Amino acid sequence: MTNPALTNKFLAIALLASIALAGCSGGDTPAEHSAADRAEGHTSSSAGLPAGHIAAGEKLAQTKGKATGQSCFDCHGAEGNAPIDETYPKLAGQYYDYIAHSLQAYRDGDRDHPLMSSQAKDLTDQQIADLAAYFGSRKGSLQDLHGMHHD
């Protein structure tokens, strides 16, 4: 005779396992890829972007945006180390994918900020990759907290 409680527990575990496997077995395009370019199939990072170029990112970071008349340096400081406001993040040394995901979210309307949403609105995936490569390559004062333990 079968125990109904045990059978239900087994079915629940099997269902959860199949959902987890389905989530991990997507197609060639990462789920995190930006909505605007999902069909391009970029897969070189968790942000789904092509390879970034530091020199191109530096030039772009110094360029005034059409929407706001500001450059990245105007608000985040030279090399992303000196924001003009304490609430603005330091970008220097930040993880490539964090910068890329953030810019994609501003561009795609998934994250909102009066200035950043306007700045990122017209960025291509390549430009986002270049900015992320540039700021990620700068020496900054960010600390990697992986492995830190509280006593």
Whether 124 is in a domain gets the answer yes
In this prediction, residue 38 carries a pLDDT of 44
Whether 36 is in a domain gets the answer no
Whether 28 is in a domain gets the answer no
pLDDT band at 116 (very low <50, low <70, confident <90, very high): very high
Q: pLDDT tens digit string along 52-104?
A: 999 999 999 999 988 889 999 999 998 999 999 988 999 999 999 999 999 99
Whether 26 is in a domain gets the answer no
**pLDDT over 70, % of the chain:** 63
Whether 121 is in a domain gets the answer yes
Whether 16 is in a domain gets the answer no
Residue span of the structural domain in which 60 resides: 56-137
Whether 19 is in a domain gets the answer no
CATH code (residue 116): 1.10.760.10
pTM of the model: 0.66
Q: Which two tokens stand for residue 74?
A: 């105007």
Whether 114 is in a domain gets the answer yes
**Total tally of structural domains belonging to the chain:** 1
Q: Which two tokens stand for residue 101?
A: 């995901």
CA 69 to chain centre: 24
Contact predicate 131/57, CB 8 Å: yes
Q: How far apart are the first and last CA of the chain?
A: 52
